[in-house]
Amino acid sequence: MTTDDATLVNDKGCQVENWVERDESQTGYWTLPACNVSGNLELTLGGARIVGSGRAQNLTVVQGKTLFRPLSTDDWGIGVAVGSQSGADHAADDNVFVNLPLSFSFHEDSVLLHINAGWLHPRAGGDLATWGIGTEWQWSERSAFAMEAFRQDAGKPSWQLSVRHQVGERLQIDASYGDRFARGQGGRLVSIGIVLFADNIIP
């Protein structure tokens, strides 16, 4: 999901999110490793290779995330994430951001609701208020469905539908489809990815 949640990777553990996304003009290959280094501080350092529209570019993403109140079953949680994105080839892609994820759990975690409010400061100027609202429905022990609406750039807001399936304890497979709420803005997006998990690998 693009909408963040008020949870962290397990203490001293790591995860690596890998996905390929394709819109109407380009393809992005993303890798975002994240580790919980102190129990309540998750650090992410990764990036992407974007190919299409007559150019190729590299993006680097750095983020720190902590929780003021962890999400627990049938309760709520809230946190903050602060980070930056930089484009080595195109400075117009550089930005810094702050995001506040608020999450609610219902029916023993079978339904989750996430609400985000944030701020994006592009290097090129023009600050932007960002937001997101999404819900997850755990319809079987290992499979879930999600839907969300969000605004993460200067265009019209977007929507997205996602499915994911847990394979064993260390692998998750997911796929999504989305578009903008306004036609003609090139927001259609399809993605497929995997998430790898590992516990107790931070000294």
Q: In this structure, are residues 64 and 81 in contact, taking their beta carbons and an 8 Å threshold?
A: yes
> Above 70 in pLDDT, residue 88?
no
Mean predicted lDDT score pLDDT of the chain: 93
pLDDT in tens, 43-64: 999 999 999 877 888 999 999 9
Q: In this structure, are residues 50 and 27 in contact, taking their beta carbons and an 8 Å threshold?
A: yes
Identify the CA nearest to 133 among candidates 109, 162, 95, 160: 160
pLDDT in tens, 103-148: 999 999 999 999 999 999 998 778 999 999 999 999 999 999 999 9
Please give the share of the chain, as a percent, with pLDDT higher than 90.
80
> Above 70 in pLDDT, residue 90?
no
CATH for 14-67+77-198 is: 2.40.160.40
Kindly state the DSSP code that residue 54 receives in the 8-state scheme: T
Domain boundaries, the chain: 14-67+77-198
**What is d(CA 29, CA 144) in angstroms, rounded to the nearest whole number?**
24
Neighbours of 135 (CB within 10 A): 17
pTM assigned to the model: 0.93
